[in-house]
Amino acid sequence: MKILITGANGFVGSHLSKKLLQEGHTVFGLVRTPSKILLPHANFYLIKGDLSTDNLSWAKALPDDLDGCIHTAGLVHSYNRDDFFRVNTEGTKVLILKLKELYPLKFKFLLISSLAAAGPVALGEKKDEEQIDFPVSEYGRSKKESENYLKNLAPTSWQTSIIRPPMIIGPGDMAVLDIFKMVKSRIIILPGMNSKLKEYSFVCVFDLLETITKLLVCEESMLLYSAFPKTIQFKELIEEIRKQLKITWLIYLPIPLFIVKIISLLLSMIFKIKKHDLRLTPDKISELAPMAWTCDSTRSETRLGQIYQYNLNVTVSNTLKDYRERGWI
Mean pLDDT of 222-234: 97
- The answer to whether position 85 is within a domain reads yes
- The answer to whether position 325 is within a domain reads no
- The answer to whether position 260 is within a domain reads no
- Inter-CA distances, 311 with 207, 242, 268, 315, 327, Å: 10, 16, 36, 6, 24
- Report the CATH number at residue 97: 3.40.50.720
- The answer to whether position 56 is within a domain reads yes
Domain of 111 in residue numbering reads as 2-169+203-228+295-309
What is the pLDDT at residue 40? 72
More confident residue, 314 or 272: 314
Span 97-139, pLDDT tens digits? 999 999 998 999 999 999 999 999 999 999 999 999 999 999 9
* Cα radius of gyration rounded to whole Å, the chain: 20
Query: 159-163, 183-187, 270-274: lowest mean pLDDT where?
Result: 270-274
Please report the sign of the dihedral spanned by the C-alpha atoms of residue 252, residue 322, residue 312, residue 126.
positive
Q: How far apart are CA 45 and CA 16, in angstroms?
A: 14
- Angle of helix 91-102 relative to helix 138-153, nearest 10 degrees, comes to 20
Structural domains counted in the chain: 1
Over pLDDT 90: what percentage of the chain? 77
The H-or-E segment that residue 99 falls in is: helix 91-102
What is the pLDDT at residue 97? 94
- The answer to whether position 75 is within a domain reads yes
Mean pLDDT of 19-31: 94
Span 68-98, pLDDT tens digits? 999 999 988 888 888 989 999 999 999 999 9
- The answer to whether position 315 is within a domain reads no
- The answer to whether position 179 is within a domain reads no
Mean pLDDT of 220-225: 94
The pTM of this model reads: 0.93
- The answer to whether position 283 is within a domain reads no
Output the average pLDDT for the chain.
93
Mean pLDDT of 161-188: 95
Coil, helix or strand at residue 311: coil
Q: Which of 303, 308, 119 is nearest to 209 (CA)?
A: 308
Mean pLDDT of 183-206: 94
Q: Which of 90, 146, 80 is nearest to 116 (CA)?
A: 146
The helix, strand and coil proportions of the chain, stated in percent and rounded to the nearest 5, come to 45, 20, 40
Mean pLDDT of 202-229: 96
What is the pLDDT at residue 112? 97
pLDDT at 5 exceeding the cut of 90: yes
More confident residue, 33 or 214: 214
What is the pLDDT at residue 79? 80
